[in-house]
Amino acid sequence: ERALLWAVLLAAWEAAWGQLRYSVPEERPKGSFVGDVAKDLGLQLPALKDRDAHVFDTGRTRYFFLDLQNGHLSMMEQVDREEICAAVSKCVLHFEILVKHPMKLYKGEVEILDINDNSPSFPESSSILEISENTAPGTRFPLERAHDPDIGVNSLQNYKCSESSYFTLDVKNGNDGVKYPELILVKSLDREQQAAHNLILTATDKGSPVKSGSTTIKIIVIDGNDNAPEFTQSVYKVTVREDVAVGSRVLQVTATDRDEGPNAEVKYSFFKIPEKFDKTFKMDPESGEIEIIEKLNFEEHQFYELTVQARDAGGLSSHSKVFIEVVDVNNYIPEIVIMSVFSPVPEDTPLGTVIAIFSVQDRDSGANGEVQCSIPEGLPFRLEKSFDNYYSVVTAELLDREQVSEYNVTVRAADGGNHHLILTAVDGGDPVRSGTAQIKINVTDANDNPPVFTKEIYKVRLMENLPEGSLAFQVKATDSDEGTNAEITYSFSDIAKSVHQLFTLDPRTGDVKVTGPLDYEERKYYEASVEGKDGGGLTAHAKVHIDIIDVNDNAP
């Protein structure tokens, strides 16, 4: 009926348009006054009823009615702005008033004003946030934001958090205009001091009166295994007789861990114990007891320095020293400790280059502890004493990978340039004791040899009817180097256009193929230069002379 009425109006009437604007707060009761339509349109009240005025809402729901007795526009029902307009900032309802006799149409709108009828609220009244105690200060933790369906100052305006020396609150303004709370860790957590933190996050608006909503955040500090086991002593010392019985307990080490659960379970072990010591002592992983499992020999060892380790299930560990002194007099074999070996060594290494650094130590004292180091004569190396008991092995002669035979028998030369250098350390004791160590030096290739062609001049004779694509001849060069330095690439150099059109040179194999028709009657010979370049950039050159042999390919 309404659509039909509009069609008739558009076809037959001349509408007079006017614009009425009113505003009313939301939640007003049914029948509340909106506006004086009769006064605003200049209509007389007696005539208003006679002229049969009607109100039409543009939406599906009717929100207003017109009282023809007084000309007032009133609320048909109570309106909730958040329900009908959701997140729209300006909530406007449109209506139309049709007055007959004569017919006139007036348009109007009513803005539904927001009132602070909603408090900010969080999705959950409480939440749990688990944070490892290893988390670095400055780390941010986004929090669940609150929701307030009101708009303007009546909507959510700010967040605040209860005081904490470990956390602070930062409120970010998103690109969508929404405020997002983030919790920032300002001080490192320590579960062993405080295992949980309780915070209250409050969201507030700026309505009148101010409304707020809160949620409780419980922060549980997860054990981060931040405490390594601690030994009761940094050094354990014990003195035993060399004739102590096998199976005797030497001492017991003890460590504690302030963490909890698996992170506090401690296992004991030796840490990088020398193999010979490992056969002499055994450690109980549960109790930390050290037991002798091999008969002690004062003449071999008068003092043992062991490193023991306490490791928890989380992987943290600590170490302590165990000094075991064997009562009696003892002589030690000098020990050579290789500090660093600079290998491989290029064959073009300058004289005086350091190849290896090592130290020599002897636990004896007096003449028994005075050590002299030497290497066999005839080697391309010499020893230089750095300081105290530190020595350097330096090059004394130029190395040549291609001439391995220059090394004497004391240097074991393996294929590929591998050489073994024997070092000997001798003490001044009686009897004299010595120790040896082995340094492996790999001499690598330097690009010190250019390619060499098998011929200086390649002379070739080709029949003029040789088909295109046929192999004409091959150039070949060799290189005494190895690897990339020995990889040769072939190419024409100083090539004439005629040669370039008739011949191609394979850069990898050196094969020269015919790529065009040969004709003895046009040209009887060709000359060109070829180049061989290795991977290091060194080159060699050779000449090529090609004679074309006549065949009977022309009739009288």
174-192 burial code (b ≥16 CB/10 A, e <16): eeeeebebebebeeebebe
Domains of the chain: total: 5
Are 108 and 144 found together in one domain? Answer: no
97: in domain: yes
CA pair distance 113, 153, nearest whole angstrom: 12
Instruction: Determine the pLDDT at residue 57.
Output: 65
173: in domain: yes
Instruction: Determine the pLDDT at residue 13.
Output: 36
Question: By the 8 A CB rule, do 499 and 477 touch?
Answer: no
521: in domain: yes
Instruction: Determine the pLDDT at residue 37.
Output: 85
Are 317 and 240 found together in one domain? Answer: yes
Are 509 and 540 found together in one domain? Answer: yes
Are 428 and 475 found together in one domain? Answer: no
Are 339 and 438 found together in one domain? Answer: yes
Instruction: Determine the pLDDT at residue 431.
Output: 53
3: in domain: no
Last residue of a domain, one of 411, 444, 477: 444
Residue 175 is part of a domain; what is its CATH number? 2.60.40.60
Are 354 and 318 found together in one domain? Answer: no
Last residue of a domain, one of 302, 327, 352: 327
List the structure tokens of 110: 């009513």
Are 269 and 308 found together in one domain? Answer: yes
121: in domain: no
120: in domain: no
400: in domain: yes
For the chain, residues with pLDDT lower than 50 are 1-17, 329-331, 405-420
As a whole-number percent, the residues of the chain with pLDDT over 90 amount to: 28
**Beta bridge partner(s), residue 95:** 57, 108
Instruction: Determine the pLDDT at residue 70.
Output: 84
5: in domain: no
Phi, psi of 474 (to 5 degrees): -140, 135
Are 214 and 238 found together in one domain? Answer: no
Last residue of a domain, one of 402, 426, 444: 444
Are 475 and 524 found together in one domain? Answer: yes
Are 427 and 359 found together in one domain? Answer: yes
Are 313 and 389 found together in one domain? Answer: no
Domain containing 130: what range? Answer: 126-222
Are 35 and 91 found together in one domain? Answer: yes
Q: How far is CA 436 from CA 270, 367, 375, 439, in A?
A: 26, 19, 10, 10
Question: By the 8 A CB rule, do 107 and 96 touch?
Answer: yes
